[in-house]
Amino acid sequence: MSVLLISLVFLAATARPVEGPAAREQARLCEDRPGEEGLAACRRAIELGLGPKRLEAVRELVARRLVSLTRWEELVQHFRDGVALHPESAEAQLRLGSALLFAVDRPEEALGPLREAALLGADDVEAQMLLGIALNALGRQQEAVAALQDAERVDPAVMDRRPASRAVYEAAKKDERWP
């Protein structure tokens, strides 16, 4: 077999399905319909196959629908799927860590994605802030202080814009949890 033929076979086997009219119609319904109906349309659109840009937009709508329906465990799974799709994405890791920390109150589980987000986005203040909050919630105050100081080094004014994070930082320095 020639190298060209092998390459074409590989590309055909790994290519995403072409975005068809049915998928586009479901994506439109996903945008237009609220609640369960919109969520179902979003999921059908994804199953039918969407191009990369539309897929990300529809995935964002799925997340919003899940939040509006207060389906927190499904939201966490949705963000896990996002990390599986884009493991190198600091934003995907941050979303998962944030959902674990705030939506389902699992700070221990949030540490992995938040640390990964901080590594992938070295200048990402948000990842460092959330990591500090998670560590504080776990009673690991020295680590919380270090993470929050890292955030402050990147953006010296960050605590001025985030009074709750400032309160976490002050509590952690006193070896206390907040709130």
Concatenated DSSP letters of 145-166: HHHHHHHHHH-TTHHHH-HHHH
Please give the angle made by the CA atoms of 138, 68 and 58, to the nearest 5 degrees.
Answer: 100
- pLDDT higher for 42 or 3? 42
Residue 140 pLDDT greater than 50, yes or no: yes
Residue 13 pLDDT greater than 50, yes or no: no
- pLDDT higher for 25 or 12? 25
158-177 pLDDT, tens digit each: 999 999 999 999 999 999 99
- What is 90-179's CATH superfamily? Tetratricopeptide repeat domain (1.25.40.10)
Is 38 in contact with 65 (CB distance < 8 Å)? yes
Rounded to an integer, what distance in angstroms lies between the CA atom of residue 30 and that of residue 16? 21
Which residues contact residue 39 at a Cβ distance below 8 angstroms, ignoring those fewer than 6 apart? 30, 62, 65, 66, 69
Banded model confidence at residue 124, pLDDT cuts 50, 70, 90: confident
Rounded to an integer, what distance in angstroms lies between the CA atom of residue 72 and that of residue 78? 10
pLDDT at 17: 56
Report domain extents, the chain: 1-70, 90-179
16: amino acid identity, one letter:
R
40-60 pLDDT, tens digit each: 999 999 999 999 999 999 999
Q: Single out the residue of 4, 48, 5 nearest to residue 28, CA to CA.
A: 48
Q: Please report the sign of the dihedral spanned by the C-alpha atoms of residue 25, residue 27, residue 32, residue 34.
A: positive
Q: Single out the residue of 93, 125, 124, 122 nearest to residue 110, CA to CA.
A: 93
Other CB atoms closer than 10 Å to residue 86's CB: what's the count?
Answer: 13
172: amino acid identity, one letter:
A
69-79 pLDDT, tens digit each: 999 999 999 99
Residue 11 pLDDT greater than 80, yes or no: no
Rounded to an integer, what distance in angstroms lies between the CA atom of residue 67 and that of residue 152? 30
Banded model confidence at residue 15, pLDDT cuts 50, 70, 90: low
